[in-house]
Chain A
């Protein structure tokens, strides 16, 4: 059932809050009239219970991790342990003001310091900033550091190289950081084409930015050679850590030759996605970049934990402390698992992806048939021949109660279906998903219309994107 808009439930005179009576003498005209608004904002007038019911009724229209499977490639939609949520709600964390004296926030600063240390250990690099609020924000921060580093060495350089399978945020962040993008093609195995890379590398290249495992879920086996080529050209090797869930305790980007790595705490480290955020995108760097880290960084000295500004800091890409509440959750997760647990996370993530790969390759085209890491990319091209698109397949999955995989990405695969099961799903769940995908493949041959018109059992059916774009309705307006 559609839920009415909260504005449609409004009636003059209702209210949903109480405040104490004003306990100081009321004074007229503290502020001259010219500063005052002529009428109050048209916020809805609703009771507390009505607001709660409104949002509860909205909420149940969502798919979410606590309800079901989310095999979204490169998004790592794993279960979010509840202990993380409980810890993050301690008043000793939630009620801290970011500008209170550091002597009164030693626990928070210590947590940031310890979390930073743990993330550096996992990645194999010595220094970190926790400031970025999300992955793309981490990318921008990292590129600004790379830019500052090159500028101090003589020239900022002009270009950043990315593979054709890169996440969309990569080229967008490169532009935001004032660089040009240079794209290199992947080889026949979906890996970096070393000849194409060689040709792209010159003394104007500031960095080569890749994901490892790459967006096809394949480990870049030539990574040491890539690192050497990039370093020989005087550039930095940057890792988009979106796929770090494949590597914890198994291999470290720092040991592979990466100079800069951003992580997504809302992917690898189990903090919830919140319907699109907040996340957290820390950036780990090698020693030469330490002086360029954003301000502030947390240090410890004899007075305890303090904030400090690195010598050649790039400044402030974001709010000083970053998304601290998200960090608490990631820290709780790392403490729950320890070194062995994190390794087991990555091993099981890889196991699950390979299991799906093996079971589904009979029904769906597998463009790169080799052992994968934590995710696997199929193509819907067998179904496309029957007139069924990957979008149709995705929409039909909704009828089976599953969130669809990431689709049409990476762009190097036609009709891409990118599946990342994560370690938190049981064999039973994976089998049910595999069965649904197989059934859909069968339906694609026998009753394609069922797919063209899917989904059939969701709160709404397919939505009219064309009119939403042509004449966007982006807000409620009072009917007069």
Chain B
């Protein structure tokens, strides 16, 4: 029996592979092969690997946990006043009870609806919750992240209007603008930047830039600097030009702020991390996309629809799949296949736990605390607001005579995380300013502590 299998394989005893020596023997016999090498004979020997891969030795579970914990401990978890599109908002403990269910996280894409109603109904509810939050008519099942959602919205507008460029606000998150440019270079569409004045869009400049090749105007609100744009001024101008109005929003802000739907947006996109997803050093996050009904057949990514089964019972399935790559191939509305379903589930859970009052309270507390901290910094330290005349929601731009990076590094030593600095995104940009964000999760004590620490820069 031993000739059928090398001792080495037997000795490995990997817990993720169930075959015994005897199993392998019987299976090879069934196949009519003398050993596993026989099955690999179709690979030309010239391209066979002659040596074992050069990787660290395998580890037991205890050792893996040890190693990963060592890496985790090399990172500094801090009290988070950082912003820049990713925020430390409250995630109820019960949320983890939902997203850690293997029924959800070990399931495949719901192409077989009869055995995927759990995922399908949850995603349909997610779509519905996003529509309620944004006052938009349809929402898709998710895209990768806020930046790719913005880029996909631009691509949609270019396809829909058959025009060649998008106008993007200078006050959009710089990483999102970079993603937009990268997608645009290939698609191709041009990206023109609408200049800003005092941290917000200069309406006069927008008016000049709008022309008959403008597929869409893209505004982030609140913008990258945390400021509120004069959102009421845009729609008429944009629609008069027969361009699409695309708004990138902060989901939590919609507990208080007017929604993309109320502003007349054609497409609304967001980074959905704040809806129940941990900061996770950058991902996985959630690309939210909602739109007016008339774009439903142009929208990228999966959509779940409600229908009935042969017994007339309510059920859910992937709808309008002829937009998608596995059916339409080169004619698809996007190449996206795998999306961020589990992150969308987390968002649905978060919105359900918060409910109608929670989203308002979360937004209100963020607003109040951010203003408390901003005022205290201005009153008691040498740091000031970079744009003191602008209105802001939960994030604001701070400046001083000190370079931002050393300030951020110094406070990081105390486990207080500020930033990002503007200089981080563009070499040569304003190196003296940095962002701070305050969510409902921060306390007065923590804020007073930050102010004390900032006082040392006199």
Residue interface bits B72-98, CB-to-A below 8 A is 1, else 0: 111111101010101010101010011
Q: In the complex the two chains form, is B282's CB within 8 Å of A319's CB? A: yes
Q: Which residues of A contact B118 (CB under 8 A)?
A: 58-62
Residue interface bits B144-157, CB-to-A below 8 A is 1, else 0: 11111000000100
Residue interface bits A78-92, CB-to-B below 8 A is 1, else 0: 111101011100111
Q: In the complex the two chains form, is A55's CB within 8 Å of B57's CB? A: no
Q: Within the complex, what minimum Cβ distance (angstroms) separates B223 from chain A?
A: 13
CA gap between A101 and B72 in the complex, in Å = 15
Q: Which residues of A contact B358 (CB under 8 A)?
A: 15-17, 19, 43
Q: In the complex the two chains form, is B47's CB within 8 Å of A251's CB? A: yes
Restricting to B171-204, which residues have a CB under 8 Å from any CB of A?
175, 178-179, 181-183, 185-188
Residue interface bits B440-458, CB-to-A below 8 A is 1, else 0: 1001100100000000000
Q: Which residues of B contact A398 (CB under 8 A)?
A: 112, 114-115
Q: In the complex the two chains form, is B305's CB within 8 Å of A474's CB? A: yes
B428 at the interface (CB under 8 A from A): no
Q: In the complex the two chains form, is B27's CB within 8 Å of A273's CB? A: no
Q: Which residues of B contact A325 (CB under 8 A)?
A: 278, 280-281, 283-284
B424 at the interface (CB under 8 A from A): yes
Q: Within the complex, what minimum Cβ distance (angstroms) separates B279 from chain A?
A: 5
The interface stretch among B161-169, B210-218, B238-246, B363-371 is B363-371
A211 at the interface (CB under 8 A from B): no
B208 at the interface (CB under 8 A from A): no
Q: Which residues of A contact B39 (CB under 8 A)?
A: 347, 350-351, 354, 371
A-B contact count (CB 8 A): 685
A324 at the interface (CB under 8 A from B): yes
* Chain B, residue nearest A133 (CB): B144
A282 at the interface (CB under 8 A from B): no
A338 at the interface (CB under 8 A from B): yes
CA gap between A255 and B46 in the complex, in Å = 9
Q: Within the complex, what minimum Cβ distance (angstroms) separates A437 from chain B?
A: 15
Restricting to B398-416, which residues have a CB under 8 Å from any CB of A?
408-409, 412
Q: In the complex the two chains form, is B108's CB within 8 Å of A41's CB? A: no
* Chain B, residue nearest A348 (CB): B17
Q: Within the complex, what minimum Cβ distance (angstroms) separates A427 from chain B?
A: 4
CB-defined A-B contacts under 8 Å, sample of 18: A16-B92, A24-B369, A59-B98, A66-B106, A81-B15, A99-B419, A106-B74, A110-B74, A139-B335, A172-B334, A279-B338, A281-B338, A347-B40, A355-B30, A423-B16, A455-B114, A461-B114, A472-B296
Q: Within the complex, what minimum Cβ distance (angstroms) separates A161 from chain B?
A: 13
Task: Give the size of the chain A interface in residues (CB under 8 angstroms).
Answer: 200
Q: Which residues of B contact A10 (CB under 8 A)?
A: 355
Known: A83-B64, A277-B339, A335-B58. A95 touches B278 (CB 8 A): yes
CA gap between A176 and B367 in the complex, in Å = 40
Q: Which residues of B contact A308 (CB under 8 A)?
A: none
Q: Within the complex, what minimum Cβ distance (angstroms) separates A385 from chain B?
A: 25
Q: Which residues of A contact B382 (CB under 8 A)?
A: none
B158 at the interface (CB under 8 A from A): no
B49 at the interface (CB under 8 A from A): yes
* Chain A, residue nearest B299 (CB): A474
B107 at the interface (CB under 8 A from A): yes
Known: A168-B326, A472-B296. A424 touches B139 (CB 8 A): no
Q: In the complex the two chains form, is B112's CB within 8 Å of A394's CB? A: yes
Contact of A318 among B28, B145, B155, B412 (CB under 8 A): B145
* Chain A, residue nearest B23 (CB): A427
The interface stretch among A196-204, A228-236, A309-317, A441-449 is A309-317
Contact of A34 among B155, B232, B280, B355 (CB under 8 A): B232
A94 at the interface (CB under 8 A from B): yes
Q: Which residues of A contact B59 (CB under 8 A)?
A: 335-336, 338
Q: In the complex the two chains form, is A468's CB within 8 Å of B307's CB? A: yes
Contact of B391 among A32, A275, A463 (CB under 8 A): A32
Q: In the complex the two chains form, is B8's CB within 8 Å of A324's CB? A: no
Q: In the complex the two chains form, is A15's CB within 8 Å of B357's CB? A: yes
Known: A35-B231, A46-B352, A317-B182. A107 touches B55 (CB 8 A): no
Q: Within the complex, what minimum Cβ distance (angstroms) separates B112 from chain A?
A: 6
Q: Which residues of A contact B72 (CB under 8 A)?
A: 87, 90-93, 107
A188 at the interface (CB under 8 A from B): no
Q: In the complex the two chains form, is B92's CB within 8 Å of A219's CB? A: no
Q: In the complex the two chains form, is A65's CB within 8 Å of B106's CB? A: yes
Q: Within the complex, what minimum Cβ distance (angstroms) separates A243 from chain B?
A: 13
Contact of A94 among B61, B97, B100, B280 (CB under 8 A): B280
Q: Which residues of B contact A476 (CB under 8 A)?
A: 124-125, 128
Q: Within the complex, what minimum Cβ distance (angstroms) separates B318 from chain A?
A: 9
Q: Which residues of B contact A352 (CB under 8 A)?
A: 27
Q: Given contact pairs A30-B368, A172-B332, A351-B24, enumerate 8 new A-B contacts (beta carbons under 8 Å).
A: A44-B352, A60-B103, A99-B424, A276-B341, A318-B144, A341-B58, A475-B128, A476-B128
Q: In the complex the two chains form, is A474's CB within 8 Å of B27's CB? A: no
Q: Which residues of B contact A395 (CB under 8 A)?
A: 114
* Chain B, residue nearest A255 (CB): B47
B132 at the interface (CB under 8 A from A): yes
* Chain A, residue nearest B9 (CB): A344
Residue interface bits B255-292, CB-to-A below 8 A is 1, else 0: 11111001000000000000000111111110000000
* Chain A, residue nearest B316 (CB): A463
Q: In the complex the two chains form, is B107's CB within 8 Å of A98's CB? A: no
Q: Which residues of B contact A147 (CB under 8 A)?
A: 186
Contact of B443 among A14, A20, A52, A339 (CB under 8 A): A20
Residue interface bits B309-343, CB-to-A below 8 A is 1, else 0: 11101111101101011111110101111111111
Contact of B186 among A144, A277, A371 (CB under 8 A): A144
Residue interface bits A108-126, CB-to-B below 8 A is 1, else 0: 1011000000100110000
CA gap between A20 and B116 in the complex, in Å = 38
CA gap between A107 and B281 in the complex, in Å = 11
Restricting to A1-44, which residues have a CB under 8 Å from any CB of B?
2-3, 5-7, 10, 14-17, 19-20, 22-27, 30-32, 34-38, 40-44
A134 at the interface (CB under 8 A from B): yes
Known: A354-B39, A425-B18, A468-B317. A328 touches B68 (CB 8 A): yes
